[in-house]
Structure 1
Amino acid sequence: MTTPLWYNSLLTLIKPLYRLRVKQRFGHLDDYQQEVDERFGNFQPVKNKNTIWFHAVSVGETNAAQPLIEHYLKLGQAVLVTNTTRTGQARAKSLFAEKYPTLFQAVYLPIDQKHLIEKFVVLNQPRILLLMETELWPNLLSIVHQHHIPQLLLNARLSEKSAKGYGKFQRLTFPMLQQLDWIAAQDQATFDRFHHLGKSQSEMSVVGNVKFDITAPKHFIQQASQLRQEWQLQQRKIMVLASTHAAEEQQILAALTSALFKDKDLLCIVVPRHPERFDAVFTEIEKLGLKAHRRSLGQTIEPDTQVYLADSMGELWLWYALAQVAYVGGSLNEPGGGHNILEPIALNVPTILGKNYFNFQHIIDEFVEHDAVKVVQNTDEAAQILLDLFDNQAQRDQMNQQAQQILQANQGALAQHIALIDRYLVAQ
């Protein structure tokens, strides 16, 4: 089944706009050039063929794929990871490039033009394609299918809103679903939505969310302990504003400013979601008159530091490991959608988030129901609850206890995913 002419014509038309968007997003020519090269066909030399190919859009999907990738690398199997964002690419490389220099390679996925996808697949000759969560590209799936390469959608999630969107383009959606060999759905609602869009129930299963099988990396825990000593943080009350979008960090910090000046032990670590915003966020912090230092400049947290801008990539676990409370962003901006709350929870960090968390609805609702996280309506409420939690150890302990019970009750999806993948690998 070939993709419609209108889809391929549209890709050709928007190609220059994509180049412009990449250029605007990057402040450094090298970063821009690498993405443009790899997205438009000037591919890196292929390190390994016959790889297990994971495609993960950005950081969240890369984190979800992490234990699966690690499993196969440990077995000595070569792994190729493709991403479509700079942050996802940086995360993948930070996890595996140094540890598995010969077996691991991470590159950008080419844009979804037939000739580029064909060239990429022929060059890399993967054994299998494992797509994480909801990343479906018509030409990618069509060409991989033509090469008789198994392709599975893992940890699949499909919100009601996304399902309606796919439903409007049935000529694209139906063939893509038929070309997928299997869909491993996170929950029954996702299973039902894919079936409604045309996927046979005999080619799907509900296996849970692999993100629940999460373990905090030991080296980040050790590094946090070391920094706590070196930077003399033992007495500091540390909160982290993680994966924030405009203008969440500015508004929350504005609400926290008086408390930060009043209590010298308070410290706020800010981790913006997108690296292209780092400088703008620092400017906003300075406008509030707060004493700030930056990770990118090699600066440390000093006794008078009120805000630490963690403008680095791949270190979010470190900042969670240092914190006593956390706000997970992308959930009070509009339209929002939220980000992964399981990382701070895995480190026993009481967690709050905003009301706009629809991208993680199926995960978060259970935590909300059992008072294991706090959902806030606005940035003022976020600031107040962060401060209140510092003064209420009993509430922090109760939130952690409830959260750990939910986390443990939902684990087991990782083993089911590995069994599914192995079934297709053995069949080759």
Structure 2
Amino acid sequence: MATPFWYNAALAIVKPLYQWRIKKRATDIAQYQQECLERFGPFQPVKNRQAIWFHAVSVGETNAAQPLIEHYLKNGHAVLVTNTTKTGQARAKSLFLKPPFEALFQAVYLPADQKDLVAEFYQKYQPKLLALVETELWPNLIDQAKNFQVPCILINARLSEKSAKAYAKVPSLTRPMLQKLDHLLAQDLATQQRFIELGLAKQSVNVVGSIKFDISAPLLHLQHAQELMCEWQLKQRKIITLASTHAPEEQNLLSALMPYLKQRPELLCIVVPRHPERFDDVFTITKNLNLNTQRRSLSEKIQPDTQVYLADSMGELWLWYALSQTCFVGGSLNEPGGGHNILEPMALNVPTIIGKNYFNFQSIVDEFLQADAVKVGQNAEQVVQLLLQCIDEPEFAQQLSQHAATVMQKNMGSLQKHLAVIDHYL
């Protein structure tokens, strides 16, 4: 059964709005034209046909798929990655568009989900398998996979209660789409149950845990952190990182931190905003709070009197975590929030604090909460108190880290289960 007429009609109507949004966020006309070509055709020249195709919406999903992509590239398979966001695309290229993988790797934007465009994309690239990462479901993309006889699997799948309710409102679209998936690898039982209730066949789904647990910090970033620790004389500093932040998290957290930063010269706050278009806004916030700030984008170093370091760069989050004594993972104090990945700092034994809105990572956070391995602040003031507790009470911080390490250890192994299923389809 093809995708419903109303869905394709709606896409045709919103296309101009979509193009306007691309134009609005593009930094120049060349970037706008390039993105439009990749979204609406004619598409980029194909580097490798018969590639394994991973579709990851943004940075988080690209990071999640990283060990899988790396595995197949190392084994000589061509890999195509598509993204929906500019930051996701930049992340994919920074990870793999370099030796020794350059010749085997290509990253482009996902075409708009119009039937003809998607069919043209399949025809041109001729992938041997499509792996959608987490919750990235596009009706025509999945429909055309069936038409072109390309196995289509949803990997590291997660589905919040909120998203499940939204999908349930359009059963004429959701049910046939899910029935065309060849396989679904769910992070947890709740996700499995939600997908089955929406129409996925029971025999098509396995619970294999989250691939995100199978992570380790890139050696390069760890070495770089050691160098900066000496070069910038950071050994005496107490470093708090506010990672993947959204508005108004920076304003609220820095306002609550300000008196401590002014009273205690050993304290240093590294701020890593989630989206590059907000870098200047965050700098304005620190200036208005009269906090002495240096910027990564200007190649400025952390000075003995630096109070805030604005890490306005892409792809260096591991580096900032490696320098930290404690951290806050953002997207969890804003509304509606949803949260970001808490496993990266935990892989580095950095005691981690989050806000109350973490539904994107519900089952993962719940498991850490149960083990007393993460702390949740209800507001900015509470978060700041918890961060300072990690700085001032080494026993408290150490206990958090130890509990987190136990949970991490227990959950490893999802990567191998993913590889086994993908290899079966290859």
Q: TM-score range by the shorter chain?
A: over 0.9
Aligned with 1:296: secondary structure?
Answer: helix
The residue number in structure 1 matching 2:411 is: 410
Matched, 1:357 2:376: no
The residue number in structure 1 matching 2:54 is: 54
The residue number in structure 1 matching 2:264 is: 263
| TM-score (ref. length: structure 1) | 0.98
The residue number in structure 2 matching 1:249 is: 250
- In the alignment, the residues of structure 1 paired with residue 368 and residue 303 of structure 2 have an alpha-carbon distance, to the nearest angstrom, of 35
What pairs up with 1:202-351 in 2 under 5 angstroms? 202-351=203-352
Which amino acid letter does the alignment assign opposite residue 94 of structure 1?
S
The residue number in structure 2 matching 1:120 is: 121
Deviations 1:320-357, CA, capped at 9 Å, x for gaps = 11111000000000001000000000001000000000
On the 8 A contact 2:389/2:396 being kept in 1, the answer is no
Which amino acid letter does the alignment assign opposite residue 419 of structure 1?
A
- In the alignment, the residues of structure 2 paired with residue 20 and residue 300 of structure 1 have an alpha-carbon distance, to the nearest angstrom, of 38
Q: Percent identity?
A: 62
Matched, 1:192 2:193: yes
Deviation at 1:398, TM superposition (A): 0.5
The residue number in structure 1 matching 2:370 is: 369
- In the alignment, the residues of structure 2 paired with residue 144 and residue 198 of structure 1 have an alpha-carbon distance, to the nearest angstrom, of 18
Aligned with 1:195: secondary structure?
Answer: helix
Residues 33 and 309 of structure 1: CA distance in aligned 2, closer, same or farther (over 3 Å): farther
Deviation at 1:90, TM superposition (A): 1.0
The residue number in structure 1 matching 2:38 is: 38
On the 8 A contact 1:110/1:116 being kept in 2, the answer is yes
Aligned with 2:297: secondary structure?
Answer: coil
The residue number in structure 1 matching 2:161 is: 160
Which amino acid letter does the alignment assign opposite residue 160 of structure 2?
S
- In the alignment, the residues of structure 2 paired with residue 254 and residue 2 of structure 1 have an alpha-carbon distance, to the nearest angstrom, of 53
Deviations 1:291-333, CA, capped at 9 Å, x for gaps = 1111111212122211111111111111111111000000000
- In the alignment, the residues of structure 1 paired with residue 324 and residue 413 of structure 2 have an alpha-carbon distance, to the nearest angstrom, of 28
- In the alignment, the residues of structure 1 paired with residue 353 and residue 260 of structure 2 have an alpha-carbon distance, to the nearest angstrom, of 18
The residue number in structure 2 matching 1:423 is: 424
What pairs up with 1:128-147 in 2 under 5 angstroms? 128-147=129-148
Stretches of structure 1 lacking an aligned partner (at least 5 in a row): none
Greater mean alpha carbon deviation, residues 320-329 or residues 27-36: 27-36
Number of corresponding residues = 425
- In the alignment, the residues of structure 2 paired with residue 419 and residue 251 of structure 1 have an alpha-carbon distance, to the nearest angstrom, of 45
What pairs up with 1:63-142 in 2 under 5 angstroms? 63-99=63-99, 100-142=101-143
Which amino acid letter does the alignment assign opposite residue 10 of structure 1?
A
Which amino acid letter does the alignment assign opposite residue 421 of structure 1?
I
Q: RMSD over aligned Cα, in angstroms?
A: 1.0
Deviations 1:397-422, CA, capped at 9 Å, x for gaps = 11110000000101111000000000
The residue number in structure 1 matching 2:385 is: 384
Aligned with 2:43: secondary structure?
Answer: coil
- In the alignment, the residues of structure 2 paired with residue 24 and residue 307 of structure 1 have an alpha-carbon distance, to the nearest angstrom, of 30
On the 8 A contact 1:59/1:91 being kept in 2, the answer is yes
Deviation at 1:160, TM superposition (A): 1.3
Residues 313 and 33 of structure 1: CA distance in aligned 2, closer, same or farther (over 3 Å): farther
Aligned with 1:152: secondary structure?
Answer: strand
Deviation at 1:29, TM superposition (A): 3.5
- In the alignment, the residues of structure 1 paired with residue 33 and residue 269 of structure 2 have an alpha-carbon distance, to the nearest angstrom, of 35
On the 8 A contact 1:27/1:276 being kept in 2, the answer is no
On the 8 A contact 1:331/1:353 being kept in 2, the answer is yes
Stretches of structure 2 lacking an aligned partner (at least 5 in a row): none
Which amino acid letter does the alignment assign opposite residue 357 of structure 2?
N
On the 8 A contact 2:245/2:273 being kept in 1, the answer is yes
- In the alignment, the residues of structure 2 paired with residue 24 and residue 277 of structure 1 have an alpha-carbon distance, to the nearest angstrom, of 14
On the 8 A contact 1:336/1:357 being kept in 2, the answer is yes
- In the alignment, the residues of structure 2 paired with residue 239 and residue 226 of structure 1 have an alpha-carbon distance, to the nearest angstrom, of 19
- In the alignment, the residues of structure 1 paired with residue 339 and residue 152 of structure 2 have an alpha-carbon distance, to the nearest angstrom, of 28
Which amino acid letter does the alignment assign opposite residue 313 of structure 1?
M
Deviation at 1:389, TM superposition (A): 1.2
Aligned with 1:102: secondary structure?
Answer: helix
Deviation at 1:230, TM superposition (A): 1.2
- In the alignment, the residues of structure 2 paired with residue 230 and residue 46 of structure 1 have an alpha-carbon distance, to the nearest angstrom, of 44
Aligned with 2:209: secondary structure?
Answer: coil
Aligned with 2:242: secondary structure?
Answer: strand
The residue number in structure 2 matching 1:11 is: 11
On the 8 A contact 1:26/1:276 being kept in 2, the answer is no
- In the alignment, the residues of structure 1 paired with residue 36 and residue 325 of structure 2 have an alpha-carbon distance, to the nearest angstrom, of 40
Aligned with 2:103: secondary structure?
Answer: coil
Which amino acid letter does the alignment assign opposite residue 85 of structure 2?
T
On the 8 A contact 1:389/1:395 being kept in 2, the answer is yes
Deviation at 1:31, TM superposition (A): 3.4
Deviation at 1:174, TM superposition (A): 1.1
Greater mean alpha carbon deviation, residues 95-104 or residues 129-138: 95-104
- In the alignment, the residues of structure 1 paired with residue 24 and residue 248 of structure 2 have an alpha-carbon distance, to the nearest angstrom, of 19
Residues 316 and 30 of structure 1: CA distance in aligned 2, closer, same or farther (over 3 Å): farther
- In the alignment, the residues of structure 2 paired with residue 319 and residue 33 of structure 1 have an alpha-carbon distance, to the nearest angstrom, of 34
| TM-score (ref. length: structure 2) | 0.98
Which amino acid letter does the alignment assign opposite residue 356 of structure 2?
K
Aligned with 1:243: secondary structure?
Answer: strand
- In the alignment, the residues of structure 2 paired with residue 42 and residue 292 of structure 1 have an alpha-carbon distance, to the nearest angstrom, of 45
- In the alignment, the residues of structure 2 paired with residue 268 and residue 30 of structure 1 have an alpha-carbon distance, to the nearest angstrom, of 36
Deviation at 1:161, TM superposition (A): 1.3
